[in-house]
Amino acid sequence: MPMSREHISLVCHSDWSINPHKRWVVSAVLGANHRWQVVQPVQVGDTTNFFVHMQSQFITPGCLLAGFDFPIGLPFAYAHKAGISDFLSILPLLGLTRWHDFYQPATSLAEISLYRPFYPARPGNSRRSHLEAGLELTFAQLYRLCEMAHDNRRAACPLFWTLGGQQVGKAAIHGWQHLLVPTLAQPGLNLKIWPFSGHLDELCLPGNTVVVETYPAEFYGHLGILNPADRMSKRTQAGRRFYSEKLLSLADRLKLDLDPGLIDSIEAGFDNQPSGEDRFDALVGLYGMINVLEGNHSSGEPVPPHISKIEGWIFGQEQPE
C-alpha cells in the first residue's frame, strides 16, 4: 500500500559526508496544486539549524520528511553482543561515559572494542580481519539486513568499516553526533526516526520532523537510472548528462515542477566540478523518496521487530520474502 502524504509539506534529501564541502541537500515543497516545487541543491552549511531552515520553506504548516544517505541503526549481532536492545535509547548515550570513544575510529587492532567499533581511522596496513578480531564477530555479521546485496543492487558497506570509496561510517558518525542527537534534545522539533519511532503514516503528522535513511543506489533501480548495461558512471559529467533526459521525464511523472536553474543543471550533468556527483545523488535521492510517496514503490514496511528496534531500514527498500 502507498503511504499517505496528506500531512507532508516538504521533502528533502541530503547527500551527506564528514567533509562539509560534500554535504548537499535538495528540497521539494508541496504546492497548492498538489505538485512538488523543487529547487537547486545547496550546500548544507551549519547543521545546528538544519531542520529549522528546512521548515522555514513550508508554504503551509505540516510534516517535514527528511532523507539522509548515511546508516541509521546498528548491526543486530553487534548490538546483541554489546547488550543493546533499543537503538533510540542508546543513541543519545553514544560518545558519553563508557561509550566516550564510540565516535573515534580506532587506529589499530588494540583500540577496537564494542565501545569503539569504527575502524580504521586512516588507511595504512588496515585489514577487515582486525575489525573481526577486535569485535569478535565475522565481517558478515557486521552487515545490517538492509545492507545485504539483492537483485536490485550490490551490497552496501557495513557501518563500522571506514575504508574505501563505498564506506559510509564516517558520514554516520557526523550525522548521528552533529545532527540527530542534538535534534533529539530539542523537543520543539518533534524529531521522529523511522522505523524506530513507529509506522510512517503514524509519524508523518503536522508538526513532526521525520528522518529516514536512504541509499541512492537503491533508488537507481527504482527509477531506471545507472543501469549497468549503459556503462555510464555518475562520477563523470558525461555520465550524469546521459541521464538528464530520464530525470526530466521522470519529473513529470512524479508531479515535480523543477526550478529553471535546476533544469539547466540536470541538462549540463551538474557541471564538471567535484560536487557534481554529490548534487546528482542528492537529487536522485529526492526523486526516489517522492516516487515512494506517489505510490510507485513500497516504503519498506512492515518492518520486523528486531529491525524497528535495532537495525533500522532503508526507505523504499522492500523487505525480503
Per-residue pLDDT tens digits for 118-141: 999 988 889 999 999 999 999 999
Residue 210 backbone phi and psi in degrees, to 5: -110, 125
Cα–Cα distance between 23 and 278 in angstroms, integer?
7
What share of the chain has pLDDT > 70, as a percent? 99
Going by C-beta distance under 8 Å and a sequence separation of 6 or more, which residues neighbour residue 58?
Answer: 9, 10, 29, 64
DSSP state of 25: E
pLDDT of residue 4: 57
Position 117 confidence tier, pLDDT thresholds 50, 70, 90: very high
Position 56 confidence tier, pLDDT thresholds 50, 70, 90: confident
Whether residue 213 contacts residue 70, with contact meaning beta carbons closer than 8 Å, is answered with yes
**pLDDT exceeds 70 at position 313:** yes
pLDDT of residue 231: 79
What share of the chain has pLDDT > 90, as a percent? 78
The DSSP result for 286-298, as a single string, is HHHHHHHHTTSS-
Going by C-beta distance under 8 Å and a sequence separation of 6 or more, which residues neighbour residue 110?
Answer: none
pTM of the shown model:
0.94
**pLDDT exceeds 80 at position 5:** no
Cα–Cα distance between 94 and 115 in angstroms, integer?
9
CA atoms within 13 A on the CB side of 257: 9
Per-residue pLDDT tens digits for 24-41: 999 999 988 889 999 999
**pLDDT exceeds 60 at position 109:** yes
DSSP state of 179: I
* Domain at 8-71+174-311, CATH from 3.30.420, 3.30.160, 1.20.120, 3.90.220: 3.30.420
Domain residues of the chain, as ranges?
8-71+174-311
Q: Mean of the per-residue pLDDT values for the chain?
A: 93
* Three cell numbers written together for 14: 541530503
**pLDDT exceeds 50 at position 310:** yes
Cα–Cα distance between 134 and 139 in angstroms, integer?
11
* Three cell numbers written together for 240: 550524469
